[in-house]
Amino acid sequence: MRFTAKFVAALLPLAFAMTTGTAQARDWNTIKAAGTVIAVTEGSFFPFNYFEGSKLTGFEVEVAEAVVKKLGLNIEWRVVPFDAQVASIRQDRFDFAIASHGYTEERAKSVDFTNPHYCTGGQIAAPKDGALTMAALNGRTVGAQLATSYYESAKKIPGLKELKTYKADPEVFSALKAKKIDAWISDKWLIKATLDKNPDAGIVAGEQVFVERVSAIMRKNNKELMEQFNRGLAEVVKDGTYASLSQKYFKTDVSCR
Ligand code: ARG
């Protein structure tokens, strides 16, 4: 049997859809009709998204749940490794991801960012007599989570001996405690919360190395879903839910002021 070029061309989108799963972006009306939004997070970024036993929780998990409730929808969570999330959203596999993505121009080529749900910075953590500044890391080994802004900032440390990457942040903290690395770069609120929980680890927070605005991400040009999410977020801020969650997790206001 011979296939005409036209026939083959007609089949191509189908073949593509089959290899990438049911790659169908859902617009606002479709989601609304379904009544449930499918959201992605990671579950290893304490206290933003993490597991308490088998229950997914955390600051941004609760913020997202409050936002979705304002929109009159249910939320279904999917857990995806952080380094696969941008691609999974670009491929339309989920409605949005909320896992502490800082805005970067590189990511903005593949996904859209909602209004930020917190502002923060990357920070160095190390043993208290160790390398606590970028300058002090010359000739040292640093650990950071794969595909993060911390990894990107660590790449710029002059004279760095080695940059070790890990799938998830708790593994970097473990490596630091085990002295496999000299310093860890991560989120300043995460470092504070982790060190508060581990006061005997002998680790302290050092120099803050950059600032970032953190948002949920969604498929490019999903205009109405974007508007609805931002409306929900504004309402959650306005009715005080956001402030009480910020106090609950951080005892301070982490909003972008
Ligand atoms: N804020 C950092 C970034 O944007 C790291 C986020 C990591 N998130 C996570 N759920 N592990 O790259």
Whether 149 and 186 map to the same domain: the answer is yes
Has residue 257 been placed in a domain? no
**pLDDT over 80 (residue 92):** yes
* The predicted structure's pLDDT at residue 134: 96
The residue among 203, 178, 205, 185 whose CA lies nearest residue 127 is 203
Instruction: Please report whether residue 226 resides in a domain.
Output: yes
- SS3 annotation, 117-155: CEEEEEEEEEECCCCCCCHHHCCCEEEEECCCHHHHHHC
In a domain, 51, yes or no: yes
Structural domain count of the chain: 2
SS3 readout for 55-76: EEECHHHHHHHHHHHHCCCEEE
Instruction: Ligand 1 pocket test: pick from 89, 100, 189 the residue with the most ligand atoms within 8 Å of its Cβ.
Output: 100
* One domain for residues 149 and 129: yes
pTM for the whole thing? 0.91
Same domain for 230 and 205, yes or no, is no
The amino acid that residue 103 corresponds to is Y
pLDDT at 13 (0 to 100): 45
Residues near ligand 1 with C-beta < 6 Å?
Answer: 42, 45, 49, 82, 99-102, 145, 148-149, 169, 187, 212, 214
At 16 the pLDDT is 44
Domain around 57? 5-118+215-250
In a domain, 256, yes or no: no
Q: What pLDDT was estimated at residue 15?
A: 45
Contacts 24+ apart (CB under 8 A), 169-173: 169/44, 169/45, 169/46, 169/145, 170/44, 170/46, 172/143, 172/144, 172/145, 173/125, 173/198, 173/203
CATH of the domain at 124: 3.40.190.10
Q: Is the pLDDT of residue 75 over 80?
A: yes
- Tens digit of each residue's pLDDT (9 = 90 or more) over 167-212: 999 999 999 999 999 999 999 999 999 999 999 999 999 999 999 9
More confident residue, 2 or 186: 186
Task: Retrieve residue 186's tokens.
Answer: 């991560």
Radius of gyration of the chain (CA): 20
Q: Is residue 168 part of a domain?
A: yes
Q: How far apart are CA 218 and CA 225, in angstroms?
A: 9
pLDDT digits (tens, 9 = 90+) for 24-34: 569 999 999 99
Same domain for 99 and 64: yes
**For residue range 218-254, what is the model confidence (pLDDT) as tens digits?**
999 999 999 999 999 999 999 999 999 999 999 999 9
Mean pLDDT of 38-49: 98
Shared domain check, 200 and 141: yes
